[in-house]
Structure 1
Amino acid sequence: MEKYVSLKVEDGTDMEAYTAIPADAAGRNAPGLILLQEAFGVNHHIRDVADRFAAQGFVVVAPELFHRTAPPYFEGNYADFPSLMPHMNGLTIEGNQADVKAAYYFLKHHELVNPANIFSIGYCMGGRVSFLANATVPLSAGVTYYGGNIKILADKAADVSGRHLFFWGGLDKHIGQDQIDLITGELDKAGKAYTNVKFSYADHAFACDERPAYNEQATKEAWAMTLAFFRNNMK
């Protein structure tokens, strides 16, 4: 079962979010998951990922991070990345923090969610926001897939609440080793627990089966590790 909900954000804006609910959920036992989009919006791929996590027992909310600059239900074109730049440039750290707070509180008060088990996951741009979420609200753990421009959040490492899992592509020309080292170095300084995984043979966006960079082997391994990571960090 899935549907859209409208969330009130603390800056006064309204944000649509796609939700996916486990078919057999009952009581306040399900873990919650904030799913954070790529640059192409909460599109078919992101909704499919939400549904797959719901099938694994998670109550999922995927907020539309472009809600301040794009109409509801916006979906970008994979072949026209430049058209997405006004929306990407419209994002701010403060706005992203407000958005993840709204998503977190939705899950925290959801009738099916155990509030002790709320996680985040994000891809590319959303991978960066997933790291920010882990530094903004009290998550059990967070996951970042190839977090684009994550270097701008280096000063947030000390605020991370839960363990964090990173996936990177060794062939990714968008995210250099310097960015990875910067983030993990700051986490080391802060004494924060994290796991860092690089697939030497995979490129940026390797987990999106709708894009040319899709790598089935890396995606299958990352999926298994992601589920194990979440389950190992449940209370």
Structure 2
Amino acid sequence: MAIQTERHVLRVPDGSEMALFAARPERAGAPGLLVFQEAFGVNRHIQALCEAFAREGWLAAAPELYHRTAPGFEARYDDIASARPHMQAMTDGGIRADQQAASDWLRGQGCPAVGAIGYCMGGRMAFLANANLPLAASVSYYGGGIQLLGGRVPELHGPMLFHWAGRDAHVTPDHARTVEDLLRAEGRPFTSVTFSEADHGFNCDERASHHPESARHALAVTLAFLRDHLH
């Protein structure tokens, strides 16, 4: 499928401006997909993911979440220290405002439904977006800290899909079980998949932890899940 890529600057409700990278399929009226970055910025990998989802038929948009502290920020995958101050500067109100602005942009493009997907830090953002916005569905890849957000579970709108890495020392299997128990206790629809041989970041082919087999299988589940809920 032919696609086109675009860059936009959005006005956020708090008065700040946020850059957004988008990949658009050729057909009009495509569903929208918010693509939330890892800690390392809206880099080449995140842009490639947007393009891949656009080829599958979604209008994919990745907002730059560090726009208040470091517009255009990108860091190497071995330099988490550079990203940490910008992660720590993010606030609940700012996250909600950024997600609303990006979702509003997708709705303004004629998207009949909007979902979200995110990786690492973005996996947590995808979970929060599902609580903050009336999303049709949301996908979290090894999202950190979700086990601490039990109070947001009753606010989830669409079903969740979680991908976890069995060898992840940062987002551990215990964290995953806690998240599953929280959603189960509230009767929220979810699917949870653990890839036993994978480590944190397994989806990214630019990271040393890339695990191609797990990434392929996770993508197959993700596409089926999104097609069920966003078409």
Regarding TM over 0.5, the answer is yes
Report the equivalent of 2:107.
Answer: 108
Report the equivalent of 1:13.
Answer: 16
**Per the alignment, in what secondary structure is the counterpart of residue 135 of structure 1?**
helix
- Determine which of 192, 217, 221 is the counterpart of 2:217: 221
Range with bigger deviation, 9-18 or 205-214 = 9-18
Work out the CA distance in 2 between the residues paired with 1:200 and 1:169.
6
- TM-score, length basis structure 1: 0.94
- TM-score, length basis structure 2: 0.95
Q: Deviations over 1:88-127 (max 9, x none)?
A: 111122211111111111111114x22xx21100000000
- Determine which of 122, 136, 140 is the counterpart of 1:140: 136
**Per the alignment, in what secondary structure is the counterpart of residue 197 of structure 1?**
strand
Report the equivalent of 1:98.
Answer: 97
Q: Contact 1:154–1:186 (CA<8 Å) still a contact in 2?
A: yes
**Per the alignment, in what secondary structure is the counterpart of residue 233 of structure 1?**
helix
Q: Deviations over 1:197-233 (max 9, x none)?
A: 0000000000000000001000101111101001111
Range with bigger deviation, 91-100 or 32-41 = 91-100
Q: Contact 2:166–2:172 (CA<8 Å) still a contact in 1?
A: no
Report the equivalent of 1:81.
Answer: 80
- Determine which of 191, 206, 209 is the counterpart of 1:210: 206
Range with bigger deviation, 145-154 or 176-185 = 176-185
1:21-36 alignment, distance < 5 Å: 21-22=24-25, 24-26=26-28, 28=29, 30-36=30-36
Q: Contact 1:36–1:127 (CA<8 Å) still a contact in 2?
A: yes
Report the equivalent of 1:177.
Answer: 173
Identity of aligned residues (%): 44
Gap regions ≥5 residues in structure 2? none
Tell me how large the CA RMSD over aligned residues is: 1.1
